Structure 1
């Protein structure tokens, strides 16, 4: 196991004035505003006590924002185990707009003087995962995909409810980095057999973790949200850890 892999699981000067707030060194959360055209994207850094070489960027689905409970739970878990995490809000149902915002966040983190990262994992929930897939396709076409080491798709919306004939898989077959799907076995927007078929055709290592009896919102009768998110967070962390360890062999 390499040094970076072994360190996982153990537990600055001000930024530009345009960012309004400076980042804190050491553990904790830092609220930020990232420039996006003539607007700003609200974002929060979750900074581990010891910053390693990799980070995670996450965003929300069609509704809500970066404070959606699933994102907060996952980020808290990953940051407590040594991963720098950045979650951000981008409202709107236009996937092209969401993708553009996501690309801005990736470029910001890559060029940040605060944290020297060798790579990031991109992800999101529902529509946020579609934006992560789309931005990864764009970046790979720019021949600059080395910074993205993997994708985390929470409740990927592969199709609309009861409309399995029209799939949202247009970006998935262009992805070159490893992909983790975390989906409910009873997700009305991601039928199990259809996702397994799509994943088998992708040209990159893929893994699917099924949350048994969960719907698109990751709700399971008889289980608490905390219990479900512990299952999800554990799976995501172990997958990230395995990829980082392989890089350092």
Structure 2
């Protein structure tokens, strides 16, 4: 039992070796003067800024606003992408009607739409939600569509042999078979979600982590700017960990997602 716990602890610690080494190198390079403080502040200075912003409530407010924007945009864009991917995947007539238009829109960089979106909606919440929704829509749509179309037809036939038809066939055969691909789309879209939000909040926002960083830039507060970057990285890591947890939980039946040892 002790050996097993040691192996589990070592396995959990290994992914953090490189980040810890980066922080150590960061601390040494800034405290010895190799890197000037006005270019990159020492880690302890960033920690002090973190504690200060946490105590006055500004940090919690901005992180909460950014998280709310990210989650709402993901739910809107992801839901639409999943439904269209499902419809086009199972209905060839729908694909023939809609897929060409979707692919044309997909090839337009959604971040390039920021100027026109600001002209339409200003810098309100609609702008951030629209941009995040567009960013997460396409990975989920494409992977849902691909997962359904790449499903082995023999599995569908076997499901019909067992009496599954209509909605039960989708829930018990088609969706489980397409789920690995759908979860890949979710994992990709979570990264795009934070990337889009970073740009949207630094260009058109009056609150959130991106706004906090841009406001700090006006006063040359490199410590707060670096803290904002680290917060985005941490939130992105938490999102990715959630996606990996969903893979382990929902794909226990799949041999490629079963961890051994």
Say whether the fold is shared (TM-score over 0.5).
no
Specify the structure having the higher radius of gyration (Cα).
2
Higher helix fraction (1 or 2):
2
User: Where on the TM-score scale, by shorter chain, does this alignment land: which range?
Assistant: under 0.3
TM-score of the two chains, using structure 1 as the length reference: 0.25
